[in-house]
Chains A and B, each alone.
Chain A
């Protein structure tokens, strides 16, 4: 079905127009799109503090209309090189977002980041009796328990948590 006949095409054009108005198209960089509304600030927090990302220009758009999500947030970054570690971090705070690499105003590469199956040394276990909170130099490991509900299981104490219950270990910690 062509875009012109698509039932949502008016919404989409409106969404595109409003997006363009407030966050101009970028010549090159990375667009983090389809962030569920409300999680854009979490993605921003995940991205901006990383070593190597301190000087990256970032535009943040919140509450844009989206045919897929109803409302979405969007980030545009001046860099074309986002380390894997940062992408993994973004996957934790907002799974299934789109990453688009832009070159010469065109989408050069696009992919969706999935909820990770294993998360190493990025989350602190909330169980106060978990050995990872007592022994030095221990790498925490969490495994995906349910990607839909964003639940993860500690690889050591085996407790299951909602991802939002857990604190992130930043690279600078």
Chain B
């Protein structure tokens, strides 16, 4: 059966852990050994909205496995601009490639692509819904930092309403035992009610706060997100809120040694640059982990075993 990666919800706990193990094996291999694994294969990157990390990470992952990359990151340069439908674009691009990576501002697009595509589809973000490859790399980062995921106390701060990385990661963490959540956000950007409901139904403890320091104290990890100005109808309201969710090195004094700060990036000012030099900064290692995890995903959907 063709393998796709569309939603974290499609994966069982065992499958999530398989990916973590697979990424660790990929990371342990030499670049010389890896560079022949996908020789002759072509990855199509179809980015209907901007991205830096995800697209470059996939392209790097593919090239370091010996494969080629085609695609676009600006729909203005494609036939979509001429009015071509999404499904026709998929049917066309699949003729040129062995695997598709798709990002789109509308929710459900990657799932829809699987209905017509004959080659594997990987969701690189669909609207505010899912971003499963980011989630897998986040899980891999947590596993590497803490040696486990069960029982961790994880804080999320910033835009919890629209952030698909937060939604996706929460869905995954709900599959693990005893993970506790602290949610710090302005009222306007609270986590959607259906996600809170689902977390509680699955037996997880949720603590909500407006205070960023509450999210720092007592947690193992703080997952920061960017507060997007465009979400606020009133710019004054945005100015009031954005300052309340800025993390700096002074706020991390007294945190236990194992405490880590993660961020899907790009950051604006929500993590001050003085945090970078602390032992708590985990976000650039998170970026590097993204390449290993995406290599594991590409190998998996193309059915290459190590």
Using a CB–CB cutoff of 8 Å, the interface residues on chain A facing chain B are 125, 127, 129-132, 134-138, 154-160
Contact = CB atoms under 8 A, between A and B. Distances in A.
A131 B86 contact: yes
A135 B107 contact: no
Given A129-B127, A157-B129, A158-B129, A135 B111 contact: no
Contacts of B127: 129, 157
Interface secondary structure of B, over-half rule: mixed
Contact of A158 (B105, B106, B108, B112): B108
Interface in B81-127: 85-87, 104-109, 111-112, 126-127
Contacts of B106: 129-131, 134
B237 interface: no
Nearest to B104: A131
Given A129-B127, A129-B128, A136-B85, A157 B194 contact: no
28 contacts: A125-B108, A127-B107, A129-B106, A129-B128, A130-B106, A130-B108, A131-B104, A131-B106, A131-B107, A131-B109, A132-B108, A135-B87, A136-B85, A138-B112, A154-B108, A155-B108, A155-B111, A156-B107, A157-B107, A157-B108, A157-B126, A157-B129, A158-B7, A158-B9, A158-B107, A159-B129, A159-B194, A160-B194
Interface in B247-282: none
A157 B106 CA distance: 8
Nearest to A151: B194
Nearest to A135: B86
Most A-side CB within 10 Å, residue of B104, B109, B130: B109
A135 B112 contact: yes
A129 B107 CA distance: 6
Contacts of B130: 158
A159 B107 contact: yes
A135 B217 CA distance: 46
Contacts of B105: 129
B283 to A, nearest CB: 27
Contacts of A159: 107, 129, 194
Given A130-B107, A156-B107, A158-B130, 20 more contacts: A129-B106, A129-B127, A130-B108, A131-B104, A131-B108, A135-B87, A135-B112, A136-B85, A137-B87, A138-B112, A155-B111, A156-B108, A156-B111, A156-B112, A157-B107, A157-B127, A157-B129, A158-B7, A159-B107, A160-B194
A159 to B, nearest CB: 7
A66 to B, nearest CB: 31
Q: Most B CB atoms within 10 A — which of A131, A134, A136?
A: A131
A67 B126 CA distance: 49
A164 B109 CA distance: 25
B110 to A, nearest CB: 9
B294 to A, nearest CB: 22
A79 B14 CA distance: 51
Contacts of B194: 159-160
Contacts of A156: 107-108, 111-112
Interface in B25-61: none
A32 B165 CA distance: 47
A92 B85 CA distance: 32
Interface string B227-263: 0000000000000000000000000000000000000
Contacts of B129: 157-159
A134 B87 CA distance: 11
Nearest to B171: A158
A22 B117 CA distance: 57
Interface string B185-200: 0000000001000000
Q: 6 closest pairs, A vs B, by CB?
A: A156-B108, A157-B107, A157-B108, A131-B108, A131-B106, A131-B109
A157 B111 CA distance: 8
A135 B113 CA distance: 11
Contacts of A125: 108
Contacts of A158: 7, 9, 107-108, 129-130
A135 B129 CA distance: 17
A135 B85 contact: yes
